[in-house]
Amino acid sequence: MAYLGEPQHTIAVLQKYNFHFQKKFGQNFLIDTHVLERIISEAGVTKDDFVVEIGPGIGTMTQYLCESAGSVAAVEIDKNLIPILQDTLSEYDNVEVINDDILKVDIAALAQEKNGGRPIKVVANLPYYITTPIIMGLFESHVPIESITVMVQKEVADRMQCGPGSKDYGALSLAVQFYAKPEIVANVPPNCFMPRPNVGSAVIRLTRHKNPPVCVADEKLMFRLIRASFNQRRKTLVNGLKNASDLSFTKEQIETAIEAIGQPLTIRGEALTLEQFAQLANEFSNMGHS
């Protein structure tokens, strides 16, 4: 029976093991049963699912996942939490705890071994300082993923789902939307955690696209264009691309490509949609550049 969502049980476990929160791992444990139930339900976890949980902490959400999923792999970087997890998860036989850095785990191999290569679900209360590398690492490694349902800083969740014209719109918005459909499914105030973070949080579900929403010949080139145009977001797109160290286009080539997609030369990168960035990348590819 999942019991760690109750604050008194969390406190009891922390005292029993004399556990100290590690700032470097961004540890904030959930202590709200409603939020935990909401995450599991929004992630759509069923007995048919193999779930990878990132940063299980003392096993609070892991208990809920074990009760809903077919099997769970919980990847925890902090070795001090491993004995605690062995204790709090002792009554579940469908979970494996992996003491490692998620960025170094071969998730594709794990999906192959545990789930016959079928798409997995990722569920996590992510450490905020490393949210973006984890999410992008999962998408870029082309691991078979059905969805990623994660608790992140509210501001980051907003950034993932916004479009052109918003101050939050940027390279992260475009990258996430290229791979998945983002949807904020719950806002979570600081008092739902121990210790309390200084910022609001949100649960966002990223449902992997079956096929990319845009046709682009060179995905890597498109992302280099996106990064270059947002690195200097106050500059025009022409200047942003011309100043980028990893792009070698002449000013004339850049202007030709921008005009070819029907945009004025005064436009800024932050005004372009994902589709327009794909068109721009294709124009450069057609010129024989990468």
pLDDT digit string, tens, across residues 27-47: 788 999 999 999 999 999 999
The structural domains of the chain, ordered by start, are 7-208 (3.40.50.150), 219-286 (1.10.8.100)
- What is the tens place of the pLDDT at every residue in 206-257? 999 999 999 999 999 999 999 999 998 889 999 999 999 999 999 999 999 9
Predicted confidence (pLDDT) at residue 278 exceeds the cutoff of 80? yes
What does DSSP assign to residue 204? E
Q: What is the pLDDT of residue 165?
A: 84
- Distance from C-alpha of 157 to C-alpha of 182, rounded to nearest angstrom: 9
Q: pTM of the prediction?
A: 0.92
The pLDDT score that the predictor gives to residue 66 is 98
The pLDDT value recorded for residue 195 is 87
What gap in Å lies between CA 275 and CA 173, rounded to an integer?
A: 13
Residues 268, 282: Cα–Cα separation, whole Å: 19
Residue 51: partners with Cβ closer than 8 Å, 6 or more residues away: 43, 45, 65, 69, 71, 72, 73, 120, 121, 122, 123
Q: How high does pLDDT run on average in the chain?
A: 93
Q: Report pLDDT for 164.
A: 93
The pLDDT > 90 percentage for the chain reads 82
Distance of CA 15 to the CA centre of its chain: 32
In this structure, are residues 120 and 147 in contact, taking their beta carbons and an 8 Å threshold? no
Q: Are 150 and 135 in contact (CB under 8 A)?
A: yes
What is residue 92's three-state secondary structure?
coil
| Model confidence band, residue 130 (pLDDT cutoffs 50, 70, 90) | confident
| Alpha-carbon gap, residue 253 to 85, rounded angstroms | 57
On the question of pLDDT at 290 being above 60, the answer is: no
The predicted structure's pLDDT at residue 233: 81
If pLDDT is split at 50, 70 and 90, which confidence band does 155 have? Answer: very high
Q: Around Cβ 222, how many Cβ atoms within 10 Å?
A: 24
- Return the residue matching tokens 């049980």: 9
- Backbone φ and ψ for 196, nearest 5 degrees, come out as -70, 125
Distance CA 265, CA 183 (A): 33
Return the half-sphere exposure (C-beta side, CA atoms, 13 A cut-off) of residue 254: 22
Rounded to an integer, what is the distance from CA 197 to the centroid of its chain?
19
Q: How many CB atoms lie within 10 A of CB 106?
A: 12
Kind and range of the H or E run holding 85: helix 82-88
Q: Could you tell me whether strands 201-208 and 120-125 are parallel, antiparallel, or unpaired per DSSP bridges?
A: unpaired
Select the more confidently predicted residue: 253 or 5.
Answer: 253
- What Rg, from alpha-carbon coordinates, does the chain have? 21
